[in-house]
Amino acid sequence: MKAVFYETYGDRTVMQLGERPAPTANAHEVLVRVHAASINPVDGKVRRGELKLVAGGHFPKQPGLDFAGEVVGVGDGVTEVRVGDAVFGCAKSMSEGALAELAVANAGSIAKRPQGLDVLTAAAVPVVAIGALQPLRDIVKVAPGDAVLVNGCTGGVGLFALQFAKRAGAHVTGVCGSEGLGLSREMGADEVIDFRTSSALARGGRYRAILELSGRLAFGDAHPILDEHGLFVDFSPTPASLIGNTLANPFRTHKHVFAMTSGKTADLDEVAQLLLRGELRVPPVREFPLEQFQDAFALAESGRVMGKVVVRVASSP
């Protein structure tokens, strides 16, 4: 099968498109013919060797976490889907990804793709929609009247975070560059701060939760704008920060917590239905063919993307 892969850690140039052995589905796994897969920031972190403890040191590795495609094989114990079903969801691991003609997923990390949800949309949403939904629902437990700050709100997770927080009744403030101000308001932000001309710290205010997606705001600097029991939700944990803050949090009023998410069928079903009913909007999608994967990664890692970059792997219905 054709796949994007690399055999050493490094920059984008270590990736190549070539032939790889076709994978097989083990028990409780599903083999999918991939129609489209999207690129997420974690793909670059794995490739650069920033997540060795999670991704391991074995090679070759394939990028691409979320996908849409068709089931072509099922392992023992799989009853939720069958061969021929259109599905979307998350690949088995960060190093056995979906930028390939065939990919394996855990059965509990995919869902059937409803009619009306097109392939590109389905490939673009799993990681970022769940990445916003689960922390807001399960960690923040966002409620009506909460003040929520989404710092770095025009990426895939940020644009869904604006929408989920607003749906929960929160007062939502987004932080982004000037080019994203309009889109952020369209996606639900009550207020938007242009980080190039202003600062959430300088503006003041108190937030029940800060979702830190930009990589620019440190927990130590955020205290003045967190309310008495505010949560600083970090989307870029390191082993050291996980250990250190887990030990320190019981002694703090403000908590430094981490967004640890996973693909779940029930959550994917919920997101799909909200999209179909028009209660959620899909972030902007930039599409590339598989042969232009290098261009796709260059854009995705440029820091200039609002929304998601999706690679069309194969033709689809």
Provide the residue ranges of all domains of the chain, joining segments of one domain with +.
Answer: 2-125+282-312, 128-258
Smallest Cα–Cα separation from 307: which of 91, 157, 122, 173? 157
Total residue count of the chain as it appears in this document: 317
Where residue 135 falls among pLDDT bands split at 50, 70, 90? very high
How crowded is residue 261: how many other Cβ atoms within 10 Å of its Cβ? 21
CA angle 272, 115, 317 (to 5 degrees): 120
What pLDDT score was predicted for residue 252? Answer: 82
Q: What is the mean pLDDT of residues 289-298?
A: 97
Phi and psi of 287, rounded to 5°? Answer: -105, 140
For 44-65, what is the mean pLDDT?
91
- Given a cut of 60, is residue 182 above it in pLDDT? yes
**Superfamily covering domain 2-125+282-312:** Medium-chain alcohol dehydrogenases, catalytic domain (3.90.180.10)
Return the H-helix or E-strand segment holding 18.
strand 16-19
Whether 158 has a pLDDT exceeding 90, the answer reads yes
- Residue 316 is predicted with a pLDDT of 53
pLDDT digits (tens, 9 = 90+) for 65-117: 999 999 999 999 999 999 999 999 999 988 899 999 999 999 999 999 999 99
Q: List strands edge to edge, sheet with 147-151.
A: 191-194, 171-176, 147-151, 207-212, 226-234, 255-258
Please tell me the predicted confidence (pLDDT) of residue 216: 87
pLDDT at 10 over 70: yes
Question: What average pLDDT does the structure give for the chain?
Answer: 93
Using DSSP's 3-state secondary structure scheme, residue 138 falls into helix
**Residue 289, preceding bond cis, omega within 30 degrees?**
no
Which tops the pLDDT comparison, 203 or 140? 140
**pLDDT classification of 240: cutoffs 50, 70, 90:** low
- State the sign of the Cα–Cα–Cα–Cα dihedral 203, 206, 211, 217: positive
Residue 101 DSSP class:
S
The band of 255, judged by pLDDT with boundaries at 50, 70 and 90, is confident
The pLDDT assigned to 203 comes to: 85
What percent of the chain is predicted at pLDDT more than 90?
Answer: 84
Instruction: Please report, for residues 64, 209, 224, the alpha-carbon distance to residue 172 in angstroms, rounded to integers and kept in the order given.
Output: 30, 10, 18
Mean pLDDT value of segment 141-156: 97
Of 158, 212, 229, 143, the C-alpha closest to 188 is 158
Is residue 239 predicted with pLDDT exceeding 70? Answer: no
Find out whether 61 and 46 touch, Cβ atoms under 8 Å: yes
Of residues 290, 316, 298, the one with CA closest to residue 69: 316
Across the range 219-240, mean pLDDT stands at 88
Q: Can you say how many angstroms the Cα of residue 212 is from the centroid of all Cα atoms in its chain?
A: 14
pLDDT of residue 247: 67
- Do the first three CATH levels of 2-125+282-312 and 128-258 match, i.e. the same topology? no
**More reliable by pLDDT, 264 or 53:** 264
Does the 128-258 domain belong in CATH 3.40.605.10?
A: no
Alpha helices, DSSP H only, in the chain?
A: 41-47, 52-55, 119-124, 126-134, 156-167, 181-186, 200-203, 219-222, 239-248, 265-276, 293-300
Reply yes or no on whether the pLDDT at 243 is more than 80: no
**pLDDT over threshold 80, residue 121:** yes
Q: Specify the pLDDT at position 317.
A: 52
